[in-house]
Structure 1
Amino acid sequence: MTNSKDFKRVEDSQVTISELMLPNRANFNGKIHGGYVLSLLDQIAFACASKHSGTYCVTASVDTVDFLAPIEVGELLTMRASVNYVGRSSMVIGIRVETENIQTGEMKHCNSSYFTMVAKDKDGKSISVPGLILDNDHDIRRFTKSIKRNKMKKRRVDEFQETDFVSENYLHLLEDYKVKIDR
């Protein structure tokens, strides 16, 4: 029999943060610097994972960061983070970034990201996290998409760890690219 502390609902760990985008966060093009947004993404992923696990968490990987639209100075940035998937000690945190022009009310979806976080004990060892209660189709879809993303990630890692790589076997892949081979 499972204890109610063994599982948590998605909404129990959700975190939302908002911040007005100030000029000191702009890059040379006058848009909000992507590195600053990445820093905020890491912070909210930590908060969401720690809230779910009840312990300290570290970033294991940043699986996807899709910058979809520039963020302007003066916009109100809002990030929403949810636990999309749990393993034994890991969690995939999905983060949606939107901005609002506070003068016009126009909303923009600017970024979607997936961070894999791992729960740690005081000695730095990975520890078990609560399971996830999926109580609607949206949560089920996000969990199953995370499973698919994890499988694709494993295939990619396996492919790049090939020890029998022979460049001549892959030269045909370069035909459509702006590359010159000069050996």
Structure 2
Amino acid sequence: MHEITGDNINLVKENMLKGKTPRESQVEMTELVLPNDTNLLGNLLGGKLMHWIDIAGAMAASRHSNRVVATVAVDSLDFRHPARMGELVTLKAKLTWVGRTSMEVTVNVYAENVKTGAIIKTNKAYMTFVALDDEGKPTPVPPLIPETDEEKEDYLKAEKRRNERLARKARGY
């Protein structure tokens, strides 16, 4: 693992593909939980939420790479609190790491009770996407330029998750 420093970021900026900051590609989308989106308890279906998370993550990865992307991994998806019928669900997707052709995106999910204004974090997901060229083959993506200390820490943690994912893959899961 390498350290993210000013020198590294300057090298990234000189790369042939112009680097982008996490802020430049972040996505925020909001959905209303309707009756057709819920289970018998009136809670948002997990599969529906996963669909929305995949869309938000893919939009951020596409915005960063200026390419069509494919989902290649979901490292984790935590269900902390249910979103209920009638609530607004806001998904915030932000790139945390970029390799040669792949990108990790973190998606944080919040439910808002429109009657009380209360907002609660319901979910967090780490996803990996790969950028595709016009023939559907993996293609290089711009480097990520973390700006804040938090973004630099996120980058290093994402790199660790990537290494763990590759080690699991090498072991055959």
**Matching of residue 85 in structure 1 with residue 97 in structure 2:** yes
**1:75-109 per-position Cα deviation (integer Å, ceiling 9, x unaligned):** 11000000110000000010000011111111111
The amino acid that maps onto 1:41 is: I
Identity %: 35
Please name the residue that 2:133 is paired with: 121
Structure 1: segments with no counterpart, 5+ residues: 162-183
**1:13-33 per-position Cα deviation (integer Å, ceiling 9, x unaligned):** 000001111111001222110
Which residue of the other structure, out of 88, 97, 100, is the alignment partner of 2:112?
A: 100
- Aligned-partner SS, 1:156: helix
**1:25-67 per-position Cα deviation (integer Å, ceiling 9, x unaligned):** 0012221100000100111111110000001111111111111
Instruction: Please tell me the root mean square deviation across aligned C-alpha atoms, in Å.
Output: 1.5
Which residue of the other structure, out of 78, 88, 91, is the alignment partner of 1:66?
A: 78
- Aligned-partner SS, 1:8: coil
Please name the residue that 2:88 is paired with: 76
- Aligned-partner SS, 1:122: coil
Please name the residue that 1:148 is paired with: 160
Q: Distance in 2 between matches of 1:110 and 1:4?
A: 39
Structure 2: segments with no counterpart, 5+ residues: 1-10
Matches within 5 A, 1:47-62: 47-62=59-74
Query: Any conservation in 1 of the 2:17–2:141 contact (CA below 8 Å)?
Result: no
What TM-score results when the alignment is normalised by the length of structure 2?
Answer: 0.88
The amino acid that maps onto 2:154 is: R
Which stretches of structure 1, 4 residues or more, deviate above 3 A after TM superposition? 158-161
> Looking at CA atoms only, which structure, 1 or 2, has the larger radius of gyration?
1
Please name the residue that 1:39 is paired with: 51
- Aligned-partner SS, 2:160: helix
Q: Distance in 2 between matches of 1:73 and 1:84?
A: 31
The amino acid that maps onto 1:18 is: T
**Residues 155 and 4 of structure 1: is their aligned pair in 2 closer, same or farther, counting only changes over 3 Å?**
closer
Specify which structure has the bigger relative contact order, considering alpha-carbon pairs within 8 angstroms and separated by 6 or more residues: 2
